[in-house]
Amino acid sequence: MKILRSSFLKLSVIFFLMGMASQDTFSQGTGVATLITSGGPDAGEIVQAYINPMISGFGAAMNGGWYNTGKPHSLLGFDLSVNTNIVMIPDEDLTYDLSKLGLSGAFKYDASNSICPTVMGDNKPGPTITMYGPPSPAPGAYTHKIDSFQTPPGINFHIIPLPIIQGGIGLIKNTEIMVRYLPTIDLSKLVEDLDVKIDFWGAGVKHDIGQWIPVFEHLPIDLSGMFAYNSLKVSFGLNVPLPDLTGATVIGTPPAGENKQEVILGVNSFTTNLILSKKIAMLTLFASTGFNYSNITLDVKGIYGATLDKDLLAKKTVKFFENPISKTFPGANSMRAGLGFRLQLLLLSLHAEYTFASYPVITAGFGISFR
């Protein structure tokens, strides 16, 4: 179990952390850090557009590899498998367009240069954004400059690999339940100064619906329906320094004690499919069609500060934001279709599948299977 857990850690988490949890990405002075300290809906829109392909990719990967045959296990039959789902990020999701985000007048940029890399896109910064605010404390037009920054670069990696450990057991009436689970992974124990925790689990059910259709009783094929749910939660601590308050006018409430800064990302996904399979000696061919759905939550917790250039009295002004970003948005939700095979060698099984969807997935794995 330690080896399998380590493989999951090394192959799936590192790509997520490269884009979102590295000290370079969230360090003071980078686009992501500046967005967090800016607060407001515009910051959330840009962060959502930036990370969406990666999180949607994880949602698609979590929905893959649930089955390799349309025949559920017999009573108390079981399997234990290790699958790797490789998601391919579409070219159109390697960039996003600032002009299509519906930003307010607080964020200004060159309209002729509005294309930015997403976290999975090119490893080069995007266009410069200048943030403005109304004169403080009185409301007014967005003429008060807060800061300028370049939108953050991507990691220039166009696939997402996600290894998954899964088990299944047969019940009565040709029904099988399937479970995925990993204990909480605390990366701070493996990588110094990386405060990251990961929780992942999933559950599904597969049922032989061919037994209820008279014509299928006489056909040498298997037909099942399945439904599965996955949950992924990633939380990582931040260390965005607070501005110097010397001689400053303060807006908002600075932290009085410990200030726990963290980003919490949640991905909840489900998939439902019809599976048709045909066994020929040791080889099983299968095809499936269904729907993938994922829902993403993004919360930035803690207190952050931004230094304004000057207020109406020509004094330095520092504004504090508490829990500046909280968003819920859909992932890559779409119809799907899959083609695959399983090769059974006594108890050992080898399997692979290609999933046609808005985020295509290649699945390959091995395991033991009985009855």
The residue count for the chain: 371
Q: What is the model's pLDDT at position 185?
A: 78
Q: What is the model's pLDDT at position 190?
A: 64
* Strand segments (E) across 140-221: 144-150, 159-171, 175-186, 196-208
Q: Which of these ranges, 134-143, 252-261, 267-276, has the smallest mean pLDDT?
A: 134-143
Q: What is the model's pLDDT at position 36?
A: 59
Encode 155-178: b = buried (16+ Cβ within 10 Å), e = exposed: bebbebbbbbbbebbbbeebbbbb
User: For residue 18, is pLDDT > 50?
Assistant: no
Q: What is the model's pLDDT at position 20?
A: 41
Every domain of the chain and the residues it spans: 2-370
Q: Which of these ranges, 43-47, 170-174, 187-191, 325-329, has the smallest mean pLDDT?
A: 187-191
Q: What is the model's pLDDT at position 143?
A: 64
**Which segment, 4-13, 101-110, 254-263, is predicted with the most confidence on average?**
254-263
The pairing of beta strand 348-356 with beta strand 361-370: antiparallel
Q: Which of these ranges, 244-253, 290-299, 312-321, has the smallest mean pLDDT?
A: 312-321
If pLDDT is split at 50, 70 and 90, which confidence band does 212 have? very high
Interval 201-211 mean pLDDT? 95
Question: 176, 302, 165, 177: which is closest to 240 by C-alpha?
Answer: 302
Q: Which residue has the tokens 């200030």?
A: 259
Contact present, 298 and 48 (Cβ < 8 Å): yes
Q: Which helix (H) or strand (E) holds 358?
A: none
pLDDT digits (tens, 9 = 90+) for 317-368: 788 888 888 888 888 888 999 999 999 998 999 999 999 999 999 999 999 9
Q: What is the model's pLDDT at position 195?
A: 79
What is the distance between the alpha carbons of residues 203 and 326, in angstroms, rounded to a whole number? Answer: 27
pLDDT over 70 for what percent of the chain? 81
What is the distance between the alpha carbons of residues 18 and 13, in angstroms, rounded to a whole number? Answer: 9
User: For residue 310, is pLDDT > 80?
Assistant: no
